[in-house]
Amino acid sequence: MKSKPWSGRFTEDTNQFVEEFTASIPFDKRLYRQDIIGSIAHAIMLGDRGIITKGEAKKIIKGLQEILNDIESDNFEFLPELEDIHMNIEKRLIERIGDAGRKLHTARSRNDQVALDIRLYLREEIQGIYDYIERLQASLVSLAKKNIDVIMPGYTHLQRAQPVLFSHHMLAYYEMLERDKGRLEDCLKRLNILPLGAGALAGTTFPIDREMVAKELGFEGVTRNSIDSVSDRDFSLEFLGAASIIMMHLSRFSEELILWSSSEFDFIELPDAFCTGSSIMPQKKNPDVPELVRGKTGRVYGDLISLLTTMKGLPLAYNKDMQEDKEPVFDAVDTVKDCLRAFSEMLPGIKVNKEKMLRAAGGGFSTATDMADYLVRKGIPFRDAHEIVGKSVRYCIEKNKELYDLTLKEFQKFSKVFEKDIFEYITVEKSVNSRDITGGTALKQVKKRIKEIEAGK
């Protein structure tokens, strides 16, 4: 029979197809560094507690460090018949240092070992994603400062609503990403707890020091229930949920960039380096990067649904189904990082069509609310003012005019309180800068927010 770490009670070799079907090494080899780091911490603790000798612990640690170097220098053959990253590393360790290597797995199981590896992996990758978000935020702030006074139409229902600053619009995405960072930080609080020591599900009979391992690996504490430690992946699900929200924000941004770069809007031009052409239509400049980001959002949503579905019917504790936990996480990590990088590098090259945005901001009766506010200041209740302005808009539509095309005499058809100063109130510049409240679109407020951001507030 082929030698397996669990072959003692078996009388037949594993079916060749089953061996390939159940192997996770094609994808979990990605966890080699986390697996080795965790094993080194485990060996240090075993030696310190006298479960193995100090000499054996040193041999194990040296052997693991050499295997790490072998893997990173591409001098390591991963064998599918050894099933996973844990057994591949352990077999090589035994080959290298002999019987001492056989003692490394004392007081642990692959169940708590893999739970540890995934936590170590996600802890590192979350920090990487956090850094990518900050790079994108910096690009947003830079683009906002570069176009600080550009006025554009703000939309609701994809209909022109009120004039806003383009810089204010960009900072809306900054705030979304700031909350995305907060979700990642919150995820880390529950993720950064050591599961090692849970064993297969019931703990271990050996006098291990879990707190020592936690400190060695930089965990905030240890899990409090051995069954829970190996049977749940809610920390992965929480990450995938946060990743899905990040992608949702990027997808919304993508949709706007795609619309704005179309000839129908012509608000922006994306940099050539982030677009492609058509194989048949020479004039085309396609916004492929934002389109792909929009498309990849569904992929990350799928990663979340995949793991939720895997976990939804599992009895406690570990089940082989949970081998399906890694690929969705790996895919989401890679996709989110790539999309954040693409956006952070693309934004600085965007060219803004200031004149086209300003013309569009003034159309579609976008200062109608300002006109209603004007009437309120003259003593008319808002609901009455709303009706007056509504009738004015209907009149403009019938006459094919904008509000700013009306004469004072025409304004006064709808209310005698209109005076010459109405023309000041319905300019887009006045509309924007009159919203001078915290969080408003006034230039003063946008500049203030940028200063706060740059000061780390």
Amino acid at 248: M
Is 14 strand, coil or helix? coil
Q: Please tell me the number of Cα atoms within 13 Å of 303 on its side-chain side.
A: 27
CA distance 96 to 33: 18
To the query of whether residue 157 is one of the catalytic residues in this protein, the response is yes
Segment (H or E) for 446 = helix 443-454
Is 221 strand, coil or helix? strand
How far the first Cα of the chain sits from its last, in Å, is 65
Q: How many residues does the chain have?
A: 457
Out of 7, 142, 262, 278, the active site residue is 278
Cα Rg for the chain, rounded, in angstroms? 31
Q: Which two tokens stand for residue 351?
A: 């060219």
Label the pairing between strands 159-165 and 151-156. Answer: antiparallel
194: β partners: 222
Out of 3, 157, 263, 279, the active site residue is 157
**Cα of 143 vs its chain's centroid, Å:** 21
Contact criterion met (CB below 8 Å) for 121 and 328 = no
Q: Look at the alpha carbons of 296, 297, 298, 304 in this order and tell me if their dihedral is positive or negative.
A: positive
* Upstream peptide bond of 317 is cis (omega within 30 degrees of 0): yes
Q: How far is CA 117 from CA 110, 218, 230, 323, 403, in A?
A: 10, 13, 12, 13, 64
CA distance 200 to 210: 15
To the query of whether residue 278 is one of the catalytic residues in this protein, the response is yes
- Which among 79, 93, 76, 82 has a CA at the least distance from the CA of 39? 93
Give alpha helix (H) positions in 210-325. Answer: 210-217, 226-231, 234-260, 288-311
Q: Which residues are catalytic?
A: 157, 278
